[in-house]
Amino acid sequence: MALRYLTAKLAQQIDEELMNAAGAFSIDQLMELAGLACAQTLATVYNQEKYPRVLVCCGPGNQGGDGLVAARHLGMFGYKPTIWMPKPGSKDIYQRLKKQCDNMHIQTIVPSTDVQPLRDALARSDVILDAIFGFSFQPPVRAPFDAALPLLTESGLPIVSVDIPSGWDVEKGNAAGVGLNPDVLLSLTAPKEGSRAFKGRHFLGGRFVPKVMEEKFQLNLPEYPGSSQIVELPPAEGSQKL
What's the CA angle centered on 155, arms 198 and 131, to 5 degrees? Answer: 55
d(CA 108, CA 42) in angstroms, rounded, equals: 19
Asked whether residue 65 is marked as a ligand-binding residue, the answer is: yes
The torsion region of residue 31 among left (phi > 0), alpha (psi -120 to 50) and beta comes to: alpha
Q: Is 133 annotated as a binding residue?
A: no
Whole-angstrom Cα distance, residue 66 to residue 78?
18
Q: Is 130 annotated as contributing to ligand binding?
A: yes
Q: Tell me if 134 is assigned to a ligand binding site.
A: yes
Is 238 annotated as ligand-binding? no
62 is in an annotated binding site: yes
* Contacts by 59-62, CB closer than 8 A, 24 or more apart: 59/85, 59/87, 59/131, 59/132, 59/133, 59/134, 59/145, 59/166, 60/85, 60/87, 60/88, 60/89, 61/89, 61/134, 61/136, 62/27, 62/31, 62/134
Tell me the H-state helices in 87-216.
Answer: 92-102, 116-123, 145-154, 211-216
* Residues 177, 31: Cα–Cα separation, whole Å: 29
Residue 89 marked in a binding site: no
60 is in an annotated binding site: no
Q: In 3D, which of 207, 193, 135 has the Cα closest to residue 167? A: 135
Ligand-binding annotation for 117, yes or no, is: no
Ordered alpha helix ranges (H), the chain? 8-19, 27-45, 62-76, 92-102, 116-123, 145-154, 211-216
Which residues participate in the annotated binding site?
Answer: 62-66, 130, 134-140, 163, 166
Which residues participate in the annotated binding site for (6S)-NADPHX?
Answer: 62-66, 134-140, 163
Which residues participate in the annotated binding site for K(+)?
Answer: 63, 130, 166
